[in-house]
Structure 1
């Protein structure tokens, strides 16, 4: 049976109405310059198996004596404010409705039983994050469509645009046999997912880069491996550039030691290459703030 039968979601998709593919050199020429974006990060406590978060078979992990355990982590949503385009989220955070009554919002039985939902501890729910903003939510930029990144959808209005990487919805993965139904329920009644478009980077540093608002303030970087359409985001703020890696790197140890995630990925080598590409970017721009997928 082909993995393509198990898409992340069968929800409709369409090319995004915003964003233009650009070469990475155009992005990097601006990284050292202050920008107009504001970024605030909100986290919910969670925990997960370290063997999923980190490749424990990597020689560095073996040498460090790392073994499997429940690792304290966070589920993040990043509030992104643009002075003209408004308020957006990167990933959705956690809805209290999903934690307290997951069946009522369409979470399937297997994910209710094994997805770790009861361990999610939001200090500020997605609804509260949105309510705290003085302007309406204009859109959500997804790094990818895994449960811990879509868990705020019950608090997000149905007409809010949802942006993903190209082919993220269609990517085949065996795990989607239990996740697809939940994703379909959480996306039900919403407009088609808007897929950010990428072309090959002429500079050869990334799989692709997209200038989301067209003004050089906010970029989407295609970073496949964790999922085929995984996207990281880079924002230029008044106090410096912020890189949101998503699940290219879940943990601080993995980031600092160039070790990709463990079992929580679709393809290992692309995942590793995406990690190394973001690490190289951070070395070229050492003043950049890096926000990892699940740890500070």
Structure 2
């Protein structure tokens, strides 16, 4: 008998009105060409158990003598500016309101107690990041719907569209019994989540790719494992390609040693496959700037 599980959120969803599925070959044909998108990455201080961030049972971690400890990390939001489509965020950063009054913005008791909110340092806050752009926020692209990635939502205007991977909201886990209520509160009053669509990669190099703006400048890459609908993003900038891995890899050590996250994932085999697929992509395009989930 399967254990009873919960969706990440019961907030409504709809197929995204932007983006089209493409093969990885379409994306890789233009990766090394300069593009029009600008990306700035903003990080706020946090910490987490290393055993969640990194599989300490992996032979490489054992050989390196890595042990459980509190690991200093960052919560990132990526500021993405497209010359025609405007200013977007990849993940939401951290709201000062959420840190100061988690109950007031809908964070449930268990997440408030055990989610590490008291260790979040919103400097700068999401509101400050948005204000600094001087133009309205056009949308938010979510790598996934975990607390440390949705913690800026209290500062996101309610009418701003939110884009996720297909099935990210519907993905079922027992742990969502704790997270679902918080996600529902943070998404309350917003339009349906816009689910970017994917098709099987004909070249088999990646799980799926979506040309988000239809001009080959910004791609969503389906990277399941951490969550079933987890996304990574690739932007073509004037200085070259920027890959935002999300939580495919939390740490620099994990990325460099091909070791997937520890307890912070849904499916270990899929998580490892997504990590190795992005590593292979970066090796095929060695000038790519890789920005990891929680460490530089």
Please report the TM-score for the alignment, with normalisation by the length of structure 2: 0.99
The offset of 1:173, in angstroms, is 1.0
Alpha-carbon separation, structure 2, partners of 1:5 and 1:147 = 18
Q: Which runs of 5+ in 2 are unaligned?
A: none
User: 1:221 aligns to what?
Assistant: 221
Residue of structure 1 in register with 2:27 after alignment = 27
Q: For 1:161-200, what aligned pairs fall within 5 Å after superposition?
A: 161-200=161-200
Kindly state the Cα deviation for residue 3 of structure 1 after the two structures are TM-superposed: 5.5
Q: Which residue of 1 aligns with 2:45?
A: 45
CA-to-partner distance for each residue in 1:263-282, whole Å, 9 max, x for gaps? 00000000000000000000
- Aligned position for 1:247: 247
Tell me by how many angstroms 1:223 deviates.
0.1
Q: 2: CA distance between counterparts of 1:179 and 1:105?
A: 14
Please, which runs of 5 or more residues in structure 1 have no aligned partner? none
SS of residue paired to 2:127 = helix
C-alpha separation in 1, matches of 2:193 and 2:3: 21
Q: What residue in structure 1 maps to residue 282 of structure 2?
A: 282
Secondary structure, aligned partner of 1:282: helix
Task: Describe the superposition over 1:127-182 as per-residue Cα deviations: whole angstroms up to 9, x where unpaired.
Answer: 00000112100000000000000000000000000000000000011110000000
Q: CA deviation at 1:80?
A: 0.1
Residue 64 of structure 1 corresponds to: 64
Looking at structure 2, the residues matched to 134 and 263 of structure 1 have their Cα atoms a distance apart, in angstroms, of 39
The aligned residue for residue 270 of structure 2 is 270
Whole-Å separation in 2 of the counterparts to 1:57 and 1:160: 41
Please give the root-mean-square deviation of Cα atoms over the aligned residues, in Å. Answer: 0.8
Give the structure 2 partner of residue 75 of structure 1: 75
1:5 Cα deviation after fit: 3.6
Segments of 4+ moved more than 2 angstroms: 1-5
- Paired residue secondary structure (1:97): helix
Range moving further from structure 2, 255-264 or 127-136: 127-136
**CA deviations over 1:23-60 (Å, ceiling 9, x no partner):** 00000000110000000011110000000000000000
- Shift in CA distance, 263/294, structure 1 to aligned 2, threshold 3 Å: same
Match of 2:138 in 1: 138
Cα separation, 2, equivalents of 1:87 and 1:156: 13
SS at 1:233 equivalent: strand
Normalised to the residue count of structure 1, the TM-score between the two structures is: 0.99
| 1:94 match | 94
CA distance in 1, matches of 2:102, 2:69: 26
**Conserved 8 A contact 1:141-1:163:** yes
Distance in 1, matches of 2:112 and 2:3, equals 23
In the aligned structure 2, how far is the partner of 1:25 from the partner of 1:52?
Answer: 33
Q: Deviations over 1:79-134 (max 9, x none)?
A: 00000000000000000000011000000000000000000012110000000112
Secondary structure of residue in 2 paired with 1:132: helix
